Amino acid sequence: MTAGVDLGVPATQAIRSDEDVVRVRQLVRTTAVAVRLSLVDQTKLVTAASELARNTLIYGGGGTAEVTTVDDGRRRGVRVVFADDGPGIPDLDLAFTDGYTTGSGLGLGLSGARRLVDDFDIRTAAGEGTRITVTKWSR
């Protein structure tokens, strides 16, 4: 097993190219399988991760995805932290508007990615980059 899959040790993937976005998807899928998320939940998490990784690349100028397993005492899950040092998101309300897009992502946007996961946290400010943490829990 790879780090980040077995003992909650994070596995970090740089996001600097389209190939890295694919690597993030693969790492998230492998980790989701390891914690026994259902196929539906695996698909939701991988879809959200793909959108967020692409946003990290396109709008943040690249960054990282840190994937780890989590356990809250009742259930296990997968947490992914996307971080970049890009320009940040100047208007979060607008960015979370359904259907809002500034480019060529999957079309989910932040609001769609948020709906696909159980926990979603975003920290951003204009000129200070963006850090998004998502978690999907087993059912």
The CATH number of the domain where 117 resides is what?
A: 3.30.565.10
H or E stretch covering 48: helix 39-58
Give the tens place of pLDDT for each residue, 100-124. 666 655 557 888 899 999 999 999 9
Residue percentage of the chain with pLDDT more than 90? 73
Range of the domain at 14: 5-137
65-69, 88-92, 97-101, 115-119: the lowest-pLDDT one: 97-101
**What CA–CA distance (Å, rounded) separates 114 from 121?**
9
Total of domains in the chain: 1
Strand partners, 78: 69, 136
The whole-angstrom separation of Cα 133 and Cα 49 is 10
pLDDT in tens, 24-38: 999 999 999 999 999
